[in-house]
Amino acid sequence: MSAPLVDIRNVSHRFGQLAVLKNVSLAIEPGSYTILLGPSGSGKTTLLSILGGFVMPSKGKVFIRGADCTTVPPAKRPTTTVFQDYALFPHMSVGGNVGFGLRMQGVDGATRAAKAREALALVGLAAAFDKKPHQLSGGQRQRVALARALVIEPAVLLLDEPLGALDLKLRRQMQDELKAIQKRVGTAFIHVTHDQEEAMALADHCVVMNDGRIEDEGPPERVYARPATRFSATFMGESTILAGAVTEAKNGIVTAMTAVGPISLPGASPAGATVALAIRPEHLALGEAKSDVTLGMAKVGDVVFQGSFKRVLATSALDPALQFIAKAPASAAIQAGDTIPVSCQAQDIILLAD
Amino acid sequence: MRAAVRLAAWVYAIAIYGFIFLPVIVLVLFSLQATSFPIPPFTGPSLRWYQAVLSDARLTSALANSLLVAVLSSLASVTLGFLSAWGFARFVLPGSAILRGLITLPLTVSYLIIGMGLLVLFNWAGVPKSLLAAGIGHVVINLPLCFAIIYSQMGDHQINIERAARDLGAAEWKVLLMITVPVMAPAIFAGFFLSMTFSWDEFVISFLLTRFQTTLPVEIWNLLRSGLNPKTNAVGSLVFAVSIVLVVFFELTLLRRKPA
């Protein structure tokens, strides 16, 4: 296996007394689309700033293409950043903005203009070359910022919540375009977001961060289906969480005692351990069903129609602290106030150490 | 009743503006006097006193001196003010608030005190009385002003713009010259024109710090010692006209907001 393009080794960072990154290590492969996903305060933006060279980590090293870049200033790194507020130069034309990086490299005017036009065409803004940034819409400015960062052919493109300032419809549209552009240019993208839908749609490699640590990382399908921690089970998509204690573990089958009775599922965990059982909403069956694990009766609190499905919130009759989050078909005749049995398949339950 | 109130309001407004502008109007009016005394009745209009001003070598050289001092001291003030504003806005400095207070403090000190202080200092340091000394005095009074104007306009939004330039490979001096200065241009021009205005008609410091070559306000004062005549009115009107032009430039650059 080739060396990773970006290698973050044991990076920690403090702002004064506040530890924002705690011993983070991360490897990024060439040509990949990596998403750093986490709530605000999780350290994801600080990690991106460290990669861009705007923040020097308190501890640890950053290698890019095998070279130690920990203390290299932004101007000398093979990275460029797309800022959340785009940070376009307001006094320059769009062409001047996109050509700025090449101008700093001493590229002559004609080549610069040609390459800037090419980059603008790539983001679908070929006609905006002579306009000023204030004449463009938010989405168009976003594309100019992208073209400006891509035109100098960085090894890694860093995107700091690039879609955060756009409205929902535009965000979904730009999301598809970002992915397409990334595949076309083949540059590694590292993209910070708190939007888990954005993460699932874009990522080749999804890194879930919380409280300065990496909670989980891997392909988004794996992170969703088999989250490594309780945090990523609730942040990357929703889950119903059952707290329990392991009473028996043998032959790859774990039995845990929970508020709704003993549950047996495939997995490995020592007897006596406290565990959390996570179940995705689409895996909970409501009503009389043939699922093999019964979770008791629950009183439906809220039913929200969401077009293709209904989101159901129900409280367990056995433990009022237990909230079931389920996805029912749009045609399901469930109403708030109903009391219904809840069940699921044993293999769909995610066993998490608590 | 309401008509009476409205009338009173108008009278009040006219009285206020008359109080402010009547001296200037009288000054300008009698600069156009055709006879030798700037007192009623008005005998003009005539441009003979303007002709007299422009053919007076002492006055025209003082006018040139004033322009030179105003332009150069304002350039120095705006450059130093910009650099200090940038330093305070972009770097964490120990005692930043106190240092910022100290840099703007000369705004509250009277020109007389500053002028006397500089006179004593230059005497001790062996700097002769000259236009250069007066120019340095004008930098002392105008630098805090330029600093305050530019610092107030230096927001956090520009931090990311500067970062983006650095990220794209710009060296620090290029970031300043190609990004920060153009983005801050309205505030920089405003500081420059306001400094020009203040330097242009500043009297006390110039009076204390110049000797043979002097600035226009000092020369006018010399002229006034031999009594009033329409020539002083004419030169005063010229000074006033230049100030008006500078203030208009200042207002245009600072108050006209670019569409975001």
Q: Is residue B174 part of a domain?
A: yes
Q: Same domain for A128 and A18?
A: yes
Structural domains in chain B (count)? 1
Mean pLDDT of chain A: 89
| Torsion over CA: B103, B108, B112, B113 (sign) | negative
Most confident range (mean pLDDT) of A230-239, A266-275, B27-36 is A230-239
Q: Which tokens sit at A220?
A: 């988004």
Q: Do A81 and B161 touch (CB under 8 A)?
A: no
Instruction: For residues B48 and B32, give the distance between their C-alpha atoms in angstroms, rounded to a whole number.
Output: 8
DSSP track, A266-309: E----TT-EEEEEE-GGG-EESS---SEEEEEEEEEEEEE-SSE
Q: Same domain for A219 and A246?
A: no
> In CATH, what number is assigned to the domain containing residue A245?
2.40.50.140
The answer, yes or no, to whether residue B108 has pLDDT greater than 50, is: yes
What residues form DSSP beta bridges with A297? Answer: A341
Report the side by side order of strands in the sheet with A323-329: A285-286, A339-344, A293-305, A309-316, A323-329
- Full domain range(s) for residue A311: 238-353
Summarize the confidence of residues A44-55 as an average pLDDT. 91
Structural domains in chain A (count)? 2
Instruction: For residues A94 and A141, give the distance between their C-alpha atoms in angstroms, rounded to a whole number.
Output: 9
**pLDDT at residue number A2:** 64
Is A101's Cβ below 8 Å from some Cβ in B? yes
DSSP state of B39: S
Q: Do B168 and A75 touch (CB under 8 A)?
A: yes
The answer, yes or no, to whether residue B260 has pLDDT greater than 60, is: no
Cα–Cα distances in angstroms (integers) from residue A53 to residues A63, A68, A69, A153, B169, in the given order: 12, 12, 8, 17, 12
Phi-psi region of A335 (alpha: psi -120 to 50; beta: other; left: phi over 0): beta
Q: Read off the pLDDT of residues A235-245 as tens digits, 9 standing for 90 and up.
A: 888 888 888 88
Nearest to B151 by CA among B99, B114, B200, B109: B99
* Nearest-Cα residue of chain A relative to residue B160: A87
Q: Is residue A276 part of a domain?
A: yes
Q: Is residue A1 part of a domain?
A: no
Of the residues A234, A263, A294, the one at which a domain ends:
A234
The answer, yes or no, to whether residue B216 has pLDDT greater than 90, is: no
Which H or E run contains A255?
Answer: strand A253-258
Q: Is residue B12 part of a domain?
A: no
Q: Do A90 and B258 touch (CB under 8 A)?
A: yes
CB A174 within 8 A of CB A23: no
Q: How confident is the model at residue B36 (pLDDT cuts 50, 70, 90)?
A: confident
**pLDDT at residue number B259:** 42
Contacts B260 to A, Cβ<8 Å: 134
Q: Do B258 and A105 touch (CB under 8 A)?
A: no
Instruction: For residues A187 and A127, give the distance between their C-alpha atoms in angstroms, rounded to a whole number.
Output: 24
Q: Same domain for A293 and A197?
A: no
CB A203 within 8 A of CB A38: no
Summarize the confidence of residues A113-137 as an average pLDDT. 91
Q: Same domain for A166 and A121?
A: yes
Q: Read off the pLDDT of residues B141-159 as tens digits, 9 standing for 90 and up.
A: 999 999 999 999 887 778 8
Summarize the confidence of residues A242-265 as an average pLDDT. 85
CB A26 within 8 A of CB A73: no
Closest approach of chain A CAs to the CA of B157, in angstroms? 8
Closest approach of chain A CAs to the CA of B227, in angstroms? 54
Instruction: For residues B18 and B24, give the distance between their C-alpha atoms in angstroms, rounded to a whole number.
Output: 10
The answer, yes or no, to whether residue A334 has pLDDT greater than 60, is: yes
Q: How confident is the model at residue B256 (pLDDT cuts 50, 70, 90)?
A: low
- Full domain range(s) for residue B72: 57-255
Give percent of chain B with pLDDT exceeding 70.
97
Q: Same domain for A148 and A17?
A: yes
Nearest to B81 by CA among B172, B152, B175, B165: B152
What residues form DSSP beta bridges with A213? Answer: A210
Instruction: For residues A262 and A248, give the distance between their C-alpha atoms in angstroms, rounded to a whole number.
Output: 10
Instruction: For residues A213 and A77, give the distance between their C-alpha atoms in angstroms, rounded to a whole number.
Output: 25
Q: Do A89 and B164 touch (CB under 8 A)?
A: yes
Q: Do B169 and A87 touch (CB under 8 A)?
A: no
Contacts of B150 (CB under 8 A, 6+ apart): B78, B81, B82, B85, B184, B187, B188, B191
Q: Read off the pLDDT of residues A85-106 as tens digits, 9 standing for 90 and up.
A: 889 999 999 999 999 999 999 9
Summarize the confidence of residues B55-80 as an average pLDDT. 91
Q: Is residue A286 part of a domain?
A: yes
ipTM: 0.79
Q: Same domain for A204 and A324?
A: no
> In CATH, what number is assigned to the domain containing residue B236?
1.10.3720.10
Summarize the confidence of residues B247-259 as an average pLDDT. 70
Closest approach of chain B CAs to the CA of A61, in angstroms? 20
Summarize the confidence of residues B23-43 as an average pLDDT. 80
| Torsion over CA: B91, B97, B98, B102 (sign) | positive
Of the residues A218, A234, A250, the one at which a domain ends:
A234
Phi-psi region of B126 (alpha: psi -120 to 50; beta: other; left: phi over 0): left
**pLDDT at residue number A256:** 87
Summarize the confidence of residues A343-352 as an average pLDDT. 87
Q: How confident is the model at residue B70 (pLDDT cuts 50, 70, 90)?
A: very high
Burial B40-61 (b: 16+ CB within 10 A, else e): eeeeeeeebbbeebeebeebee
Q: Is residue B80 part of a domain?
A: yes
Q: Is residue B211 part of a domain?
A: yes
Q: In this structure, are strands A261-266 and A339-344 parallel, antiparallel, or unpaired?
A: unpaired
Q: Same domain for A322 and A183?
A: no
Closest Cβ–Cβ partner in A79, A91, A152 for B182: A91
Q: Is residue B52 part of a domain?
A: no
Q: Same domain for A313 and A206?
A: no
Q: Is residue B14 part of a domain?
A: no
Which H or E run contains A214?
Answer: strand A213-218
**How far does chain B reach from its first CA to its final CA, in angstroms?**
47
Of the residues A201, A234, A267, the one at which a domain ends:
A234
Summarize the confidence of residues B158-175 as an average pLDDT. 90
Nearest to A214 by CA among A228, A201, A204, A203: A228
Q: Same domain for A243 and A165?
A: no
Closest approach of chain A CAs to the CA of B187, in angstroms? 14
Is A134's Cβ below 8 Å from some Cβ in B? yes
Q: Same domain for A128 and A228?
A: yes
Half-sphere exposure of B24 (CA within 13 A, CB side): 11
Summarize the confidence of residues B45-65 as an average pLDDT. 84
Contacts of B22 (CB under 8 A, 6+ apart): none
Q: Do B170 and A152 touch (CB under 8 A)?
A: no
The answer, yes or no, to whether residue B63 has pLDDT greater than 50, is: yes
Q: Same domain for A310 and A244?
A: yes
Residue of B157, B168, B173 to mutate, testing the A interface (most A Cβ within 10 Å of its Cβ): B168
Q: Is residue B185 part of a domain?
A: yes
Residue with tokens 């493109």: A157
pTM > 0.90: no
Q: How many beta carbons lie within 10 A of that of residue A315, not counting itself?
A: 17
Is A305's Cβ below 8 Å from some Cβ in B? no
Q: Is residue B45 part of a domain?
A: no
> In CATH, what number is assigned to the domain containing residue A170?
3.40.50.300
Burial A201-220 (b: 16+ CB within 10 A, else e): ebbbbbbbbbebbbbbbbeb
CB B186 within 8 A of CB B254: yes
Q: Same domain for A209 and A246?
A: no
Closest Cβ–Cβ partner in A53, A75, A149 for B170: A75
The answer, yes or no, to whether residue A208 has pLDDT greater than 50, is: yes
